[in-house]
Chain A
Amino acid sequence: MNRYPSWKYLIIAVSILLGLLYTLPNFYGESPAVQISPLRTTAKADTVLLQRVEDALKKAGIAYNGMFLDAAGIKIRFPDTDTQIKARDMLQSMLGSGYMVALNLLPNSPQWLTSIGALPMYLGLDLRGGVHFMLQVDMKGALSKALDRFGADIRGSLREKGIPYAGLDRQGSQITIKFRNSDSRAKAEAEINKTYTDLSLREDNVGADFHLIATLRPEAQKRIQDSAVQQNITTLRNRVNELGVAEPIIQQAGADRVVVQLPGVQDTAKAKDILGRTATLEVRMVDEERDVQEAMRGKIPFGSELYTERGGGPILVKKQVVLTGDRINDAQAGFDNNNQPAVHLNLDNNGARIFRQLTHDNVGKRMAILLIEKNQAEVITAPVIREEIGGGRVQISGRMTTEEARDVALLLRAGALAAPMDIIEERTVGPSLGADNIARGFNSTLFGFAAIAVFMTAYYSMFGFISVVALGVNLLLLVGLLSILQATLTLPGMAAIALTIGMAIDANVLINERIRDELRQGMPPQAAINAGYERAFGTILDSNITTLIAGIALFAFGSGPIKGFAVVLCLGILTSMFSAVMVSRGLVNLIYGSRRKLERVAIGQVWKPVSTKR
């Protein structure tokens, strides 16, 4: 009765083999590497680039351990981190902004393992070091920005159609357009209704003025908010790429939140700065008709705002925005004719047209280029327009340092955020703490396992040893499964591995106790083994399911590190069911099953009370 058909042994053997195979990469460790991936569609990672990189490295005398090309780009291994950083700097300056050159860690496992998809476990930020941010998108900000855009567009349309209006202003969530007579209002209303279906209009009369009040329709509001989050994610992704981070995670979490994880990032200050910045560019006209001195005394003329020019004095700028950063196709840092740091912009078709019109109409006047960051605007430069500028090429040079020019170019290139964002959660783990955490988790598991192994073997002798083997298989399968699934392993996850070891032994204790119990009742050994396994199974199932319920609830409601704990806990329960019941039974059957006359089994001392009467 204690024999397994060979297919069951086969299942056990195959699963152990697979477990071994997929656990293997975890033992090889990782080596520093540099990863090159193309950022634009025009840039390609191919064998030509591979050759170029190889030549450049050889020329610079930088030693490397290997180089290969895959779907993500080119990866180069280095013997140590110093060479890695040297190579990164060299490659970045050689390849320019078309490629992302990022530091990374690559598993040292041999090629054949990688090619069958056997990778080491995916370590979470608390184990490998890095930054985790949760950002909240300011939805109100997104709506006001959208309304501002509508305001500018309506101005344009009204002017184009020759409909006179006395003023246009946004207050909170509505745009008020003023007219001198009801006739032009009616015309404007028809025009706006036709062109801007997202707006709902309402007429209002204030004194002698005829007002038209535009608000966003609810469905348009929702769409704008959704797309604001999406655009912010895209922008963040661009910015992270510019930062050069290997394997970043940027994803939406909830309706208005974005999670950003940057593994291995050491310079968190820079990361935070670049991510959090809401830089955008605005081109407006300088208000030269009114007196700046007057404005400084607090009498700011209607329709204008007072700003400070970088490295200069105060300046009055009209509120009306002519051109925004959305129209920018590309931005590069460079130098102007006088060898001053500058940012070269390339505008899209629409932007180029607007810009040409603007410069055409305003020769001899001053325009202002404003950089708006975190709701603070600064006039970078306010040049006099000397001639019409066509072709969409614009150069901004104001009193900037090279570093500033590069940052501004990066931010403009990566695009503006559709809405401001705030960091509402941040977790940064330094690389040294990450390594410590791995050691802690590993030691907890190791010593816990050792203690159980000693105790079980001493207490249940042969059956205890079999239980320990089964427990080892459980650990193997769990680690293998985590490696296959590439589930994120966190410190709580490692704690969960240790805990599952402690809990998984329960099944074997149950079985062994049952067998002893049956032996105590006088059952022959073979029958006792069978009965022990059969009867314990229901209990094992029950108790594992209750733990599984807890694990699933933790997964559903937990966040971040807790999710990692829950995943490991649930997987551990599943593997322990298999190993404790099937693997240990397989071993028992292998050892005892074939013996026809089994007098006694090595399950430790089975004590029988003197009077067994009940």
Chain B
Amino acid sequence: MEFFRIKRDIPFMSWGKYTTTISLLTFIAALFFLYTKGLNLGVDFTGGTVMEVGYPQPADINRIRNTLIKLGMSDVSVQNFGTSRDVLIRLPARPAMSSARLSETVIKALQEDDKGAEIRRVEFVGPQVGQELVESGALALLIVSLGIIGYLALRFEWKFGVAGVIANLHDVVIILGFFAFFQWEFSLTVLAAILAILGYSVNESVVVFDRIRENFRKMRKATVAQVIDNAITRTMSRTIITHGCTQMVVTSMLFFGGEALHYFALALTIGILFGIYSSVLVASPLVMLLGVSRDDLVKPEKKEGAEALP
């Protein structure tokens, strides 16, 4: 089997105008939704209480809601979670009542109403903890970006570092845009997925950059655009197959991972799809835009001999 029977190098670089426009548009759209709709932040970041309650029979959402409203919790949200027998109850942070008492009061009332109600999970996050998690999350994003720029700059050249990170931050913003548009819950696990994707899709750029460097050595007469086109074309097959394989696992997580891993897998899926696109059609044009040249990578001194093949 061989999926990719590409006869000639695909002139990716000549499409630069269109791809940049598309990227810019999706990027702006993502920013727009982030600004207008905002992220549907989970309890990890906002503070509050989330309870998962299991019933032996399909749960009556309205009845549960009424029971809780009778307790004076008018701002409660009750919804099904995964199956019709599981219910997710969300309560905003409440300074007057201690969290410990809150969840107890709720489960007591529910068990009075229906003996079969079983508490499966309680998550309470105090408001100050939520704020800290937001801060440390943002800090982690910053550190990862800087670390990757630093590494790519060391390994290649600063232009590659900057291009790689911009391309991947563009992915991150688009994932966030999706989460804002569909109002999917943005939790700590999703943040972890995004940071993992950031590290993972930089791989993609690294592979292409590696080829570009190699091609600069080999294809002495080619223009920069030709060099990059060739590099992308020849790594194309690997890109698709690798991402396809990773996506297989992620799909498996989407199907079998249950609700807890649902948004995690979803974030990874979007990240993988846009990761392919951005490393091919965003990072490389950016490198060209930043004005990379043969001299940046191929040092005429002894180094070349040292790196040549045995």
Compute how far the CA of A136 lies from the CA of B98 in the bound complex, rounded to whole angstroms. Answer: 13
Contact: A448 with B252, CB < 8 Å? yes
Q: Mark A443-485, 1 if CB is under 8 A from B, else 0.
A: 1111111011001101100000000000000000000000000
- Report A-chain residues with C-beta under 8 Å of the C-beta of B204: 543
Which one of B124, B143, B238, B261 lies within 8 Å of A556 (CB-CB)? B143
Q: Are A433 and B261 in contact (CB under 8 A)?
A: no
Q: Which residues of A are found within 8 Å of B2, using beta-carbon distances?
A: 516, 604-607
Closest B residue by C-beta to A451: B248
- The smallest beta-carbon distance between B123 and chain A, in angstroms, is 5
Q: Tell which of A447, A516, A604 touches B255, judged by Cβ atoms closer than 8 Å.
A: A447
* Count of inter-chain pairs, beta carbons less than 8 A: 251
Interface flag for B299 (CB, 8 Å): no
Evaluate contact between B123 and A455: CB separation under 8 angstroms: no
Nearest-CB residue, chain A, relative to B53: A430
* A547 contacts the other chain (CB 8 A): yes
- Find the B residue at minimum CB distance from A612: B7
Chain A contacts for B244, CB-based, 8 A: 455
Alpha-carbon separation in the docked complex, A425 to B258 (Å)? 24
Q: Beyond A436-B258, A550-B198, is A499–B250 a contact (Cβ under 8 Å)? A: yes
* Inter-subunit contact B242/A509 (CB<8 Å): yes
Q: List 8 A-B contacts (CB under 8 A).
A: A430-B120, A496-B196, A506-B242, A549-B151, A556-B143, A566-B192, A605-B1, A609-B5
> Does the CB pair B129–A538 fall under 8 Å?
no
B115 contacts chain A at the CB level, 8 A cutoff: no
> Of residues A269, A423, A544, A550, which shows the largest number of chain B Cβ atoms within 10 Å of its Cβ?
A550
Kindly identify which residue among A268, A502, A565 contacts B122, using a CB–CB cutoff of 8 Å.
A268
A492 within 8 A of B: yes
Q: A441-B257, A498-B252, A510-B207 are in contact. Are A549 and B199 (CB under 8 A)?
A: yes
Q: Which residue of B lies closest to A511 (CB)?
A: B238
Which one of A269, A433, A491, A562 contacts B104 once the chains associate, using CB atoms below 8 Å? A269
- Which residue in A440, A459, A545 is a CB contact (below 8 Å) of B261? A440
The answer to whether A134 and B104 touch across the interface, beta carbons within 8 angstroms, is no
Contact with B along A552-571 (1 / 0, CB 8 A): 11101111111001100100
Contact: A569 with B196, CB < 8 Å?
A: yes
Cβ–Cβ contact B256 & A444, under 8 A = yes
Question: Could you tell me the distance between the alpha carbons of A530 and B15 in the complex, rounded to whole angstroms?
Answer: 36
B272 to A: closest C-beta gap in Å: 9
- In A154-169, the 8 Å CB interface with B consists of none
Q: A549-B144, A607-B2 are in contact. Are A561 and B248 (CB under 8 A)?
A: no
Give the segment of B30-38, B65-73, B134-142, B177-185 that binds chain A: B134-142
Contact of A448 among B192, B202, B210, B248 (CB under 8 A): B248
Q: Which residue of B lies closest to A275 (CB)?
A: B100
Answer whether residue A411 sits at the interface, using C-beta atoms and an 8 A cutoff. no
Determine the distance from Cα of A446 to Cα of B256 in the docked complex, in whole angstroms: 10
Given A427-B123, A547-B199, also A444-B1 (CB < 8 A): no
Instruction: Output the nearest chain B residue to A610 by Cβ-Cβ distance.
Output: B7
Tell me if A107 counts as interface (CB < 8 A to partner B). no
From B122, B140, B151, B191, contact of A546 by CB (8 A)? B151
A452–B246 CA distance with the chains assembled, in angstroms = 8
Is A217 located at the chain interface by the 8 A CB criterion? no
Q: Who on chain B is nearest to A544 by CB?
A: B203
Instruction: Report Cα–Cα, A492/B118, bound state, in Å.
Output: 24
Q: Is B99 an interface residue (CB 8 A)?
A: yes
**Pair B139/A557 contact, Cβ less than 8 Å:** yes
Residue of A nearest to B125 (CB): A425
A557-B147 Cα distance, complex, nearest whole Å? 14
CA separation between A342 and B6, bound complex, in Å? 88
Give the distance in Å from the alpha carbon of A160 to the alpha carbon of B128 in the complex. 47
In the assembled complex, the CB of B147 is this many whole angstroms from the nearest CB of chain A, namely 4
- State whether the Cβ of A437 lies closer than 8 Å to any Cβ in chain B: yes
Q: Which residues of chain B are near A427, meaning CB under 8 Å? A: 121-124
| Interchain residue pairs A-B with the least CB separation, the first 4 | A550-B199, A448-B249, A543-B203, A424-B126
CB of B234 closer than 8 Å to a CB of A: yes
Q: Is the CB of B256 within 8 A of A611?
A: no
The answer to whether A539 has its CB under 8 Å from any CB of chain B is: yes
How far is A516 from B100 in the complex, measured between Cα atoms in Å?
61
User: Pick the contact of B248 from A424, A455, A538 — CB < 8 Å?
Assistant: A455
Given contacts A546-B199, A546-B202, whether A558 and B246 have CB atoms under 8 Å apart is no
When distances are taken between beta carbons in the complex, the residues of chain A under 8 Å from B245 are 452, 455-456, 502, 505-506, 509
A604 partner residues in chain B, CB cutoff 8 A: 1-2
- Is A501 among interface residues, defined by CB-CB distance under 8 A? yes
CB of A252 to closest CB in B, whole Å: 16
A549 touches B238 (CB 8 A): no
Is A388 among interface residues, defined by CB-CB distance under 8 A? Answer: no
Q: CB-CB < 8 A to B29: which residues of A? A: none
State in angstroms the CA–CA spacing of A543 and B209 once bound together: 11
**Which of B125, B191, B253 touches A562 (beta carbons < 8 Å)?**
B191
